[in-house]
Amino acid sequence: MADVAARNPADLSTQPRSGLHKLMQRKSTIAFLMALPLILLITILVAYPAGYAVYLATLNKGMTRFVGFGNFEFLFGRDTFWLVVYQSCLFAITAVIFKAIIGFVVAHFVHNIPSKGQRKWRGMLLVPWVIPPAMSTLAWLWLFDPSYSALNWLLGFFGIEGIPWTGEAGWARFSVILVNVWIGSPFFMIMYLAALKSVPEQLYEAASIDGATWWQRIWYVTLPMMRNIIAITALFSLIVTFANFDIVRVLTAGGPLNSTHIFGTWAFRVGIEGGDIPLGAAVSLFMVPILAVAATFILRDITKRGSEV
Amino acid sequence: MADASIASGAPSRPKYGSMSRDRTWALRWSYFFLVLFAIFFLMPPIYMLITSLKTSAEISAATNPWWISNPTLQNYIDLLSQNQFLVFFRNSAIVSICVVILTMMISVIAAFALARMKFWGSATLATGVFLTYLIPETLLFIPLFKMFAWVNETLGIQLMNHWWTMIILYPTLTVPFATWIMIGYFASIPKELDEAALIDGATWMQTLTKIFIPVALPGIIAATIFTFTVSWAQFLYPLAFTTSTSELVLPVGIITTLIKGDVFNWGQIMTGALLGAAPPLIIYAFLMDYYIAGLTAGATKG
């Protein structure tokens, strides 16, 4: 195929061509030019800023002097920083686990019902994923309102005392995780549903004949068959959840007393609102290790599957 | 279906009809839990709608929050007659449409080059595209903030506090993913198809526009929907880079202008949030299958 492409235009024309023109006719040159906008975009607006963040993190507040690891040392000495580290990990890990469980369970229920109605249910259950997160978090903020909370009204209806959803540290942490689970589990549901449909029916029949209970069928047939999808979806979600901004920003803005700040929102508070750009850059760089680990695993999975094909 | 196996696999002797009876019960339980989950998943948007149809007086009178006694469209009328809100809507619409066009042009052409016309470093670039997709905007907004200041100092172009800056910024979020989806779709097209076109004397551009784009149209639609949804919903970049009310996009505009100090006009906030959520929801309602195809393609293809 490659030769066809390269020779074709040259053979048809009999005029002599300049070196540049020949270069322009070569397949690899054309391909490179076609990918050039992408390369420029990635280099200027993603790769360069990512590297620049490292440089920025080594400057002092006025960005006039190189301070090496000064910003990091400063962060390590602050209690708020460790609070943010703790909250980021708690937020991301708890949310991903619950999203995965709820997604898995709901996918099973959707898979159970006749396929005629599946489309309707799937469509309804994916709605949280479609609404812009900042907008749906506003609805949650209103549901959590201290004085007019509609959720507390419902609880009161059943005789349960109202909950300070965003007012108290523990509950505020619960609330941001709840909203994140609400937004993210439909994505897991869709991914797992697609994976469930790809498990051959014969495997279940064979398991049934061997006398497997429904739990054994899930444990020995469904989960092994879906292992790849479960892992890759969880890793994707871990990255996105760890780097979350919208939910925490709108729901609690980090409060009460910085207890719900995660790296993204705290970097915004320190870097943009507090005017200390190098410190903000240093904070956001702490996301890199966990992102790198997750990305490595995802890439390994993808290249492995690529070579199998 | 999962529970049906209990019948067939249970050690006790299965009676006639118990299998189908278990199946109906499994089905009933499935529907029961699906209804519960649907209530959980749909509660906030429904509550948005309920609140948006209430008067301020009814909201502040602590009556049953889930019931509307005097439905009114006043919130919608107030909001849509506000010039400010229409400006947010216009900014969001122009930004999203431009980003969609820009993203699709860049990513379809680049994906074609990466999927079919191998060149030096193309495999590395494909991996790089995927890696960029994994770099979150929370990592980039601070260096970008500083870079914009530098651009202003040296080139004299003020990128800060302009809605059109978002047209430059959003493609960093959309292009890697769109390219990644399109590489997957293009790679699944049989090689014979474009070989035949090349033998017939088609140029690379003709192969792309006459063969690849029509064949991969579902993928292109999925990528387009995704791009639109992402650029419509983006919150961090406009929050960090725009401040004047005339330059805000919808999500940021609703949050920064309707929430004034301690006075929360929840009727209007919910109306704004619902109107802000409407365009992606409408697109989703009509093109759900493409939407889901794009969602699953991102992680499963490749």
Give the DSSP per-residue string, A23-36.
HHHSHHHHHHHHHH
Closest CA to B273 of A181, A190, A182, A246: A246
Give B31's contacts in chain A (Cβ within 8 Å): 113
Closest chain A CA to residue B274: A135
In this structure, the answer to whether residues A120 and A194 fall within a common structural domain is yes
Give the type of residue at B130: F
Mutation target vs A (from B142, B257, B270; most A CBs, 10 A cutoff): B142
> Counting one residue from A and one from B, how many pairs have CB atoms under 8 Å apart?
335
* Nearest chain B CA: its distance from A250 CA (Å): 8
In this structure, the answer to whether residues A277 and A169 fall within a common structural domain is yes
Would you say how long chain A is, in residues? 309
Inter-chain touch A287–B140, beta carbons under 8 Å:
no
In this structure, the answer to whether residues A50 and A172 fall within a common structural domain is no
Q: What is the largest CA-CA distance in chain B?
A: 84
* Nearest chain A CA: its distance from B108 CA (Å): 9
In a domain, A6, yes or no: no
Using a CB cutoff of 8 Å and minimum separation of 24, what contacts does B193-202 make? Answer: B194/A1, B194/B116, B195/A1, B195/A4, B198/A1, B198/A4, B198/A5, B198/A8, B199/A4, B201/A8, B201/A12
Inter-chain touch A4–B109, beta carbons under 8 Å:
no
The predicted structure's pLDDT at residue A229: 83
Q: What are phi and psi of A59, to 5 degrees?
A: -100, 165
- What string of pLDDT tens digits covers the 302 residues of chain B? 444 444 444 444 444 455 667 778 888 888 899 999 999 999 999 999 998 998 888 887 777 888 888 888 888 988 888 888 899 999 999 999 999 999 999 999 999 888 888 778 888 888 888 888 888 888 899 999 888 888 888 888 888 888 999 999 999 989 998 998 888 888 888 888 888 888 888 888 888 888 888 888 888 998 898 899 999 999 999 998 998 888 899 999 988 887 766 667 888 889 999 999 999 999 988 888 888 877 776 554 33
In a domain, A62, yes or no: no
In a domain, A8, yes or no: no
Inter-chain touch B235–A243, beta carbons under 8 Å:
no
The predicted structure's pLDDT at residue A6: 44
The predicted structure's pLDDT at residue A177: 93
The partner residue sitting opposite A182, judged by closest CB among B1, B41, B203, is B41
**C-beta of residue B140 within 8 angstroms of C-beta of residue B170:** no
The two tokens of residue B126 are: 């494909």
Structural domain including A34 reads 18-56
Q: CA A83 to CA A308: how far, in whole Å?
A: 44
In this structure, the answer to whether residues A23 and A115 fall within a common structural domain is no
The predicted structure's pLDDT at residue A208: 84
Mutation target vs B (from A91, A110, A131, A199; most B CBs, 10 A cutoff): A131
> What does pLDDT average to in each consecutive run of 10 residues of chain A (309 residues)?
44 53 73 88 90 88 80 86 91 93 91 86 89 92 85 85 84 92 92 87 87 85 85 86 90 85 91 87 88 84 61
* Nearest chain B CA: its distance from A190 CA (Å): 7
The predicted structure's pLDDT at residue B17: 54
The partner residue sitting opposite A250, judged by closest CB among B109, B129, B255, is B255
**Burial class (CB within 10 angstroms; exposed 0-12, middle 13-18, buried 19+) of A142:** buried
In this structure, the answer to whether residues A271 and A201 fall within a common structural domain is yes
Report yes or no for ipTM above 0.90: no
The partner residue sitting opposite B122, judged by closest CB among A31, A214, A268, is A31
Number of domains in chain A: 2
In this structure, the answer to whether residues A39 and A124 fall within a common structural domain is no
The predicted structure's pLDDT at residue A77: 86
Give B51's contacts in chain A (Cβ within 8 Å): 142
The two tokens of residue B26 are: 């499994």
Give B299's contacts in chain A (Cβ within 8 Å): 191, 229, 232-233, 236
Q: CA A181 to CA A208: how far, in whole Å?
A: 34
The predicted structure's pLDDT at residue A5: 44
Q: CA A264 to CA A251: how far, in whole Å?
A: 14
Q: Which residues contact B232 (CB under 8 A, 6 or more apart)?
A: A132, B92, B96, B250, B279, B280
Mutation target vs A (from B5, B51, B60, B275; most A CBs, 10 A cutoff): B5
Using a CB cutoff of 8 Å and minimum separation of 24, what contacts does B231-234 make? Answer: B231/B95, B231/B96, B231/B99, B231/B100, B231/B166, B231/B170, B231/B173, B231/B174, B232/A132, B232/B92, B232/B96, B232/B279, B232/B280, B233/A132, B233/A133, B233/A134, B233/A135, B233/B280, B234/B137, B234/B166, B234/B170, B234/B173
The predicted structure's pLDDT at residue A79: 87
Inter-chain touch A124–B112, beta carbons under 8 Å:
no
Give B300's contacts in chain A (Cβ within 8 Å): 191, 194, 229, 232
In this structure, the answer to whether residues A292 and A168 fall within a common structural domain is yes
Give B47's contacts in chain A (Cβ within 8 Å): 139, 142-143, 150
Q: CA A125 to CA B38: how far, in whole Å?
A: 6
Give A284's contacts in chain B (Cβ within 8 Å): 138-139, 142
Q: Which residues contact A156 (CB under 8 A, 6 or more apart)?
A: A162
**Burial class (CB within 10 angstroms; exposed 0-12, middle 13-18, buried 19+) of A260:** buried
The partner residue sitting opposite A109, judged by closest CB among B33, B51, B110, is B33
Closest chain B CA to residue A275: B142
In this structure, the answer to whether residues A239 and A300 fall within a common structural domain is yes
The predicted structure's pLDDT at residue B106: 93
- Kindly report the CATH number assigned to the domain that includes residue A244: 1.10.3720.10
Closest chain A CA to residue B175: A38
The two tokens of residue B291 are: 């939407």
Q: CA B99 to CA A45: how far, in whole Å?
A: 15
**C-beta of residue B144 within 8 angstroms of C-beta of residue A251:** no
**Burial class (CB within 10 angstroms; exposed 0-12, middle 13-18, buried 19+) of B227:** buried
Give A280's contacts in chain B (Cβ within 8 Å): 142
Element (H, E) at B259: strand B259-260
In this structure, the answer to whether residues A267 and A163 fall within a common structural domain is yes
In this structure, the answer to whether residues A249 and A299 fall within a common structural domain is yes
Q: CA A37 to CA A4: how far, in whole Å?
A: 26
Q: Which residues contact B71 (CB under 8 A, 6 or more apart)?
A: B53, B54
Q: CA B89 to CA B246: how far, in whole Å?
A: 11
In a domain, A125, yes or no: yes
In this structure, the answer to whether residues A101 and A149 fall within a common structural domain is yes
The partner residue sitting opposite A4, judged by closest CB among B9, B42, B198, is B198
Residue A110 CB neighbour total at 10 angstroms: 24
In this structure, the answer to whether residues A194 and A110 fall within a common structural domain is yes
Q: CA B6 to CA B74: how far, in whole Å?
A: 56
pTM of this prediction? 0.85
Bridge partners of A66? A59
Give B175's contacts in chain A (Cβ within 8 Å): 38, 41-42
Inter-chain touch A1–B195, beta carbons under 8 Å:
yes
Q: CA B219 to CA B221: how far, in whole Å?
A: 5
The two tokens of residue B17 are: 């009809």
* Nearest chain B CA: its distance from A96 CA (Å): 16
Bridge partners of B260? B263
**C-beta of residue B32 within 8 angstroms of C-beta of residue A113:** no
SS3 B260: strand
Closest chain B CA to residue A193: B296
Mutation target vs B (from A23, A138, A149; most B CBs, 10 A cutoff): A138
CA distance readout (Å), A9 to A13, B99, B151, B162, B203: 7, 35, 43, 46, 8
The two tokens of residue A136 are: 């749906």
In a domain, A264, yes or no: yes
Inter-chain touch B204–A27, beta carbons under 8 Å:
yes
Inter-chain touch A142–B130, beta carbons under 8 Å:
no
SS3 B52: helix
Inter-chain touch A291–B134, beta carbons under 8 Å:
yes
Q: CA A243 to CA B141: how far, in whole Å?
A: 12
**C-beta of residue B253 within 8 angstroms of C-beta of residue B245:** yes
* Nearest chain B CA: its distance from A115 CA (Å): 12
